[in-house]
A = this chain, B = another copy of it.
Amino acid sequence: MKKLINKREDVVKESLEGMAAAYPELISVDLEQQIIVRKDAPIKNKVGIISGGGSGHEPMHGGYVGYGMLDAACPGAVFTSPVPDQMLAASRAVNSGAGVLHIIKNYTGDVMNFEMAAELGSAEGINIANVVTNDDVAVTDSLYTAGRRGVGVTVLLEKIVGGLAETGAPLEQVAALAHKVNEQGRSMGVALTSCTVPAAGKPTFELGEDEMELGIGIHGEPGRRRVKLASAAEVTAMLVQPIIEDLGLKSGEQVLAFVNGMGGTPLIELFVVYDALNRILKGKNISIARNLVGNYITSLEMAGCSITLLRLDDELIKYWDAPVLTPALRWGR
């Protein structure tokens, strides 16, 4: 295992200390509770938004804590759900009385622990709503999930719903927009290599030199099928076709196109994929009104990418474009 780490068990803690040192004006890190909280939380009359999940997907979620996005993030151990105590501590830290939205990726551990935290928080009088993202069209019921997995849409949802929450909208409206975003987005990913969880010390799975895993989840869990290496144009078509079908996207519609790197694929390749995606959508008269290209929801150093399409309307565009100021996403401010 070749990694820039010290002790395996200290990776998450030391990385959080690094983040705290790098962005003191944006975030506070509570190392005891293992949560990242927006510096100015709780914000009066604003719904608090929290998310969380295993570490190893950086910049998600800690990189999205700040103005116009998340109020707190709960990072678990690498590829391991955070515990209810973290989510409860985060809910307390961001609740100004306007309530808290839990954004949960549909992985069994995350869902169970967030539900327990919501029960505990509600018992303390915190008004909590949630959304469970489940945008991955590759599989229903996989190694880690019942139903579809929550992947790339989570990033877009955190941005859009964070934009609405910043206006002082009530919890009910914020939660409704979150459900709408989740319903309008679909994703699928591909892995060219595996990745190595520090605690395990060896690759999560094996892939032959001429193979790739289609429909992979963000922990290296198996996808639709293992196939022979193909060109970027072919891979892009294999990823986007099921998304378009599942979403029922039609000629004349507009989308946000998100090409996400899994961590180990260089940007130059992600733009080759984006070019291929742009051509395919153009051919179907689907317009890319907004886009995001880069490493935003990763699987450590895994090579590969995922594509997410989000059907857009004026409301979603408005809050996507709204100012954001976090470690990993910033514009308009």
Contact = CB atoms under 8 A, between A and B. Distances in A.
A278 interface: yes
A272 B330 contact: no
A21 B272 CA distance: 11
Interface stretch (A1-9, A42-50, A108-116): A1-9
A275 B14 CA distance: 6
A247 interface: no
Contact of A4 (B12, B22, B192, B333): B192
A11 to B, nearest CB: 6
A300 interface: yes
A327 to B, nearest CB: 8
Contacts of A222: none
Interface in A305-333: 305, 325, 330-333
A301 B22 contact: no
Contacts of A5: 231-232, 269, 272
B305 A4 contact: yes
Given A266-B301, A298-B267, A6 B232 contact: yes
A7 B270 CA distance: 15
Contacts of A263: 264, 266
A16 B11 CA distance: 36
Contact of A267 (B17, B274, B295): B295
Nearest to A236: B4
5 contacts: A11-B268, A12-B268, A263-B266, A264-B264, A265-B301
